[in-house]
Chains A and B, each alone.
Chain A
Amino acid sequence: MPRVLLIEDDAAVRDGVTLALRRRGHEVAAAASGEDGLDLLPAFRPDIVLLDLMLPGKDGFEVCRRIRADRQLPIIMLTARGDDLDVVLGLEAGADDYIVKPARGEVLEARIRAVLRRTALPADGDTGPAEPGPAPVETYGELTVDRAGLVVSKGGTDLPLAPSEMKLLLFLSATPGQVFSRQQLLEHVWEHSYHGDARLVDACVMRLRTKIEDTPRSPRYVQTVRGFGYRFGPL
């Protein structure tokens, strides 16, 4: 069962969510502040982090960036503010998904499973039709994509891509030049069983660009097709 680290300052919510998730068989560790959560991280080694956005001291965005800097851990933002701005900021800080409070136990559970499922990299049979060829390493400009080893390197140095960024890059680069709408990407890469949000795609593309592009402002690899969506290349 997945190990969940819950970082939430409100005691009632912390207890409620912990109770609901424990009942569903998760192992839950709860932290009342971002600092506590970061301290708990190395010892508890969670599979996923549920992170409240409004925290005393270090807020959720900061904590999210700190976690992202060290490890590729799936993060779900737990936000009481459903406003667009918070959602976008949270996603841009590196969250894989967001849940607007209040949410029922089964919704939390479903979203955790969805994020875990899609961030579990396609090592087991899910790799798709690009696999059978003998040359799984593809080169696009300075970018080298090793589909089998799931390593992306640029100019010889490996890039630390988060799971959703890796999946997005693998999907887009499988058919260079083809344009995908945000909705299509949401359907294929995020495999949303619930109703998805195109902002997930935008935020993820933005994060991916900061890692793989020379100048994220004028992207070379992941290009925007105005009014439609994104495509990989042509270089």
Chain B
Amino acid sequence: MKRPRSAGRPRRGTLTRSLPRGLRARLVVAFLLVAAVSALTTAALTYREARNAILQRSQDTAIKDLRGQVNSLAPDLAVPPTRADVDEFSRQLDRSGKARDWDVYVQYKGLAENDRSQLRNPVIVPAELRESVETRHVTAFQRVDRDGEPWLLIGMPVMQSQTETRTASPLSVYAQLPLRAEEANVEALVSAAQRGALPVLGLAVVPALLAARGVLRPVRGLRQAAGRIAEGKLETRLEVKGADELADLSRTFNDMAAKLEESVADLRRMEANARRFAADVSHELRTPLAAMTAVTDVLDEDADALDPDTASAVRLISQETGKLARMVEDLMEVSRFDAGAAALHLDEVDVAETIRKTLQARAWQGRVCTELPDGVRARLDPRRLDVVVANLVGNALHHGGEPVRVLLRAPEPGDGRLVIRIVDSGPGIDPEVLPHVFDRFYKADSARARSEGSGLGLAIAMENVRLHGGTMRAANCPDGGAVFTVELPLPEQETGTAAGPPEAAGETGRAPADENGPADTDGGQDTAGGGDHPAKSQAAAPAGKADQT
């Protein structure tokens, strides 16, 4: 059960470490995102606009230049031109455009295509462009990508202006010119945008950190203050600065701390009062009881010599004094629990030995069968364990039926629990009563109510078990008899030492248990299943053990 948990923990740890979870990290990341988005959007829009403007201007000038050249050279062209005329025209155009470094190709409808290979860069005209120029007679241009280089392709029909009406001549001029320079300009723009955006992003970290600090400092203060309050330093207050939401939060926190301090002080006062009252009552009740209790055995001894009525009166007084004394003790114990004044004095003890002593001190060894494996050491308060066992065994002897068995189960290594069962062979507990057996002053059988005990015994046993952090349950065996199960937690290191050094003691302890028949774990399961039968076979076991002690 522990292994997978310990294996799972580091995985979760690395997961949280890989994600920025802190408030500061989130604030900075959000800030950077906003800065990045706005910088990118601005850059992208600027880039688009600037690029369009640059390209537009170069197109316009190129078209204007080409038209100017065509208009000045076209009238010299013979009509209809020969192949040579057209070539000459195109060469002239080409030469005139040297400054622009364009390639020109002239097409005259009806004249055969000439060999384009003599041109430096063959002008390849896409069909749509050719169609819009030659059929629809409009000037068209297109940006094309050739061998990864941007080119502007211009198609221009030549108008015949000799006649009255301007008609389209069969002559068209195509020119292609590289946009390398323009592209370089645009690229410079992009890199300028990049060079600008990165430092801006870097710079954005500074205000982001400052903003984060501004928010986080009060938050950190709040966290530390809450931590101090949790430690019990209730006088902790925050400094209220400004009038923002954080100041409101600080003010509310201070109000809360003040209220908390006040109510805790009230509680403490009440607790101190309750404690003092318990101590006073204890003292005032105990003093007369001390005088009475000291002499009750004197009364008992002398009762035989008195006349019968006086004798029974004396015995009654003696008996009731004892009961009253026990009741006062129990009440004191309960009030100590209620006042939170019950302290745990932990000590490492041999559990079997402690239980045996409890039985011995009350002369119960003869009436109780035990199954106590040796070598079970645990860190607990022996005085409180004594109270628990004594109450449960006493309860079993008085209200249940003999034989009563006390079973201790040695904890498995790593189990972390010590289990003690007290089983009686009586009629069991009424199912209606079962949920209330640990209530104070709850008497299972009103006819037996005054027979023994104050009705506080089981409640006190329960409180003692709880003080150890353990649990206590009452149940019935299927074939009669009640089982009280006490489970006490063993701290981690304690199970370790129990598995370690006292191994030898455990071994020697187990051997006689095996001789006696059922091994201790089997015995425990039998009782859980409700079997009453092993009781007989075990009867020999405690006798042997009692001799040892």
Binding site for B on A (CB under 8 A): 10, 12-13, 15-17, 19-20, 23, 54, 78, 80-84, 100-106, 108, 181-183, 193-199, 227-229
Question: Given contacts A80-B286, A82-B332, is CB(A16)–CB(B348) below 8 Å?
Answer: no
Q: Main SS of the interface on chain B? A: helix
Could you say which residues of chain A place their CB within 8 Å of the CB of B341? 83
Are the CB atoms of A195 and B293 closer together than 8 Å? Answer: no
Proximity bits, B307-327, A CB within 8 Å = 1, else 0: 000000000000000100100
Question: Given contacts A20-B297, A195-B361, is CB(A103)–CB(B343) below 8 Å?
Answer: no
6 new A-B pairs (CB below 8 Å) besides A17-B294, A101-B293, A102-B293? Answer: A12-B291, A20-B295, A105-B295, A195-B357, A195-B382, A197-B383
What's the Cα separation between A196 and B325 when bound, in Å?
21
Q: Identify the closest chain B residue to A99 (Cβ).
A: B290
Asked if B288 lies at the interface with its beta carbon under 8 angstroms from chain A, I say yes
Q: Identify the closest chain B residue to A21 (Cβ).
A: B294
Tell me the smallest distance from the CB of A52 to a CB of chain B, in Å.
Answer: 9
The residue from A103, A106, A227 contacting B290, defined by CB atoms under 8 A apart: A103
Question: Given contacts A105-B296, A195-B361, is CB(A16)–CB(B382) below 8 Å?
Answer: no
Question: Given contacts A80-B286, A195-B358, is CB(A183)–CB(B298) below 8 Å?
Answer: no
What's the Cα separation between A183 and B290 when bound, in Å?
29
10 nearest A-B pairs in the assembled complex, by CB-CB distance: A16-B291, A12-B291, A101-B290, A102-B293, A102-B289, A16-B294, A102-B290, A80-B286, A20-B294, A13-B291
Could you say which residues of chain A place their CB within 8 Å of the CB of B349? 181, 183
What's the Cα separation between A108 and B295 when bound, in Å?
11
What's the Cα separation between A101 and B301 when bound, in Å?
22
Could you say which residues of chain B place their CB within 8 Å of the CB of A83? 279, 336, 341
Asked if B117 lies at the interface with its beta carbon under 8 angstroms from chain A, I say no
Are the CB atoms of B358 and A102 closer together than 8 Å? Answer: no
CB-defined A-B contacts under 8 Å, sample of 12: A12-B288, A12-B291, A82-B282, A83-B279, A101-B289, A102-B289, A102-B293, A102-B325, A104-B293, A183-B347, A195-B358, A197-B383
Binding site for A on B (CB under 8 A): 279, 282-283, 286-298, 301, 322, 325, 328, 332, 336, 341, 343, 345, 347-350, 357-358, 361, 379, 382-383, 386
Are the CB atoms of A108 and B283 closer together than 8 Å? Answer: no
Could you say which residues of chain A place their CB within 8 Å of the CB of B295? 16, 19-20, 105
Are the CB atoms of A15 and B282 closer together than 8 Å? Answer: no
Tell me the smallest distance from the CB of A195 to a CB of chain B, in Å.
Answer: 5
Are the CB atoms of A105 and B294 closer together than 8 Å? Answer: yes
Are the CB atoms of A12 and B287 closer together than 8 Å? Answer: yes
Are the CB atoms of A106 and B297 closer together than 8 Å? Answer: yes
Are the CB atoms of A23 and B298 closer together than 8 Å? Answer: yes
Are the CB atoms of B292 and A80 closer together than 8 Å? Answer: no
Are the CB atoms of B287 and A105 closer together than 8 Å? Answer: no
The residue from B325, B345, B350 contacting A198, defined by CB atoms under 8 A apart: B345
Q: Identify the closest chain B residue to A9 (Cβ).
A: B287
Are the CB atoms of B290 and A199 closer together than 8 Å? Answer: no
Tell me the smallest distance from the CB of A51 to a CB of chain B, in Å.
Answer: 14
Tell me the smallest distance from the CB of B340 to a CB of chain A, in Å.
Answer: 13
What's the Cα separation between A19 and B379 when bound, in Å?
42
Could you say which residues of chain B place their CB within 8 Å of the CB of A19? 294-295, 298
Could you say which residues of chain A place their CB within 8 Å of the CB of B292? 16, 102
Are the CB atoms of B382 and A102 closer together than 8 Å? Answer: no
Could you say which residues of chain B place their CB within 8 Å of the CB of A12? 287-288, 291
Could you say which residues of chain B place their CB within 8 Å of the CB of A181? 347-349
Question: Given contacts A54-B283, A104-B297, A181-B347, is CB(A195)–CB(B290) below 8 Å?
Answer: no
Tell me the smallest distance from the CB of B108 to a CB of chain A, in Å.
Answer: 111
Tell me the smallest distance from the CB of A23 to a CB of chain B, in Å.
Answer: 5
Could you say which residues of chain A place their CB within 8 Å of the CB of B290? 10, 13, 16-17, 78, 80, 101-103
